[in-house]
């Protein structure tokens, strides 16, 4: 899958945000927010792109090579999970560390995740861990960024964590 670069599309036509806004029936500031990565609905993207002479074509591409689970695959799924569930569970940040983050994972490796919740509680951690195990089809170690950890472990975690 790929993302839509509204700004590049607009600039390739030599259009201003105001022009696109007028054609799409929205304000210049709404166009600016979309260009700065604030997500709009699929309908809004379609309206803006249509105003610039584009049409949306959807395709499905595999993110896995030879059905192998690797760091990029884990990160792409983790990002989708974060974007779809951040409001529901109050996820402030989520990241990958450990063997997958270091590209050293083997067939039996678990997935190590560090998470920051704005309303931490055991039930929410349990739900998230279970959902991620279902998504990754692997055991997940979910650690709070506020957990009491040995200094050496925390130092290593902070060096290798990849936040999405």
- What's the pLDDT tens digit per position in 44-72? 888 888 888 888 777 666 655 545 688 99
Mean pLDDT of 132-154: 91
Paired strand residues for 111: 140
* pLDDT at residue 9 tops 90: no
Reported as a single tens digit per residue, the pLDDT across 63-96 is 555 456 889 989 999 999 999 999 999 999 999 9
φ/ψ (deg, to 5) at 162:
-120, 110
Choose between 80 and 39: higher pLDDT.
80
Of 132, 133, 120, 131, give the one whose Cα is nearest residue 91: 120
Reported as a single tens digit per residue, the pLDDT across 114-142 is 999 999 999 999 999 999 999 888 999 99
Question: By three-state DSSP, how is residue 74 classified?
Answer: helix
Average pLDDT, the chain: 87
Band of pLDDT at residue 2, cut at 50, 70 and 90: very low
How high is the pLDDT of residue 44?
A: 83
Provide the whole-model pTM.
0.60
């Amino acid at each position: 899958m790929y993302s839509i670069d509204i700004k590049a599309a607009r600039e390739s036509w030599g259009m201003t945000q105001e022009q696109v806004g007028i054609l799409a029936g929205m304000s210049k500031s709404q166009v600016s927010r979309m260009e700065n990565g604030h997500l709009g609905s699929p309908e809004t993207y379609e309206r803006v792109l249509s105003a610039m002479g584009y049409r949306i074509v959807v395709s499905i591409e595999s993110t896995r090579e030879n059905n192998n689970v690797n760091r990029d695959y884990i990160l792409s799924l983790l990002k989708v999970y974060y974007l779809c569930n951040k409001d529901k569970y109050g996820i402030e940040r989520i990241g990958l560390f450990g063997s997958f983050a270091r590209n050293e994972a083997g067939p039996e490796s678990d997935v190590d995740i560090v998470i920051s919740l704005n309303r931490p509680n055991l039930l929410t951690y349990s739900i998230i861990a279970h959902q991620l195990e279902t998504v990754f089809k692997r055991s997940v170690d979910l650690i709070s960024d506020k957990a009491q950890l040995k200094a050496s472990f925390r130092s290593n975690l902070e060096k290798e964590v990849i936040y999405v």
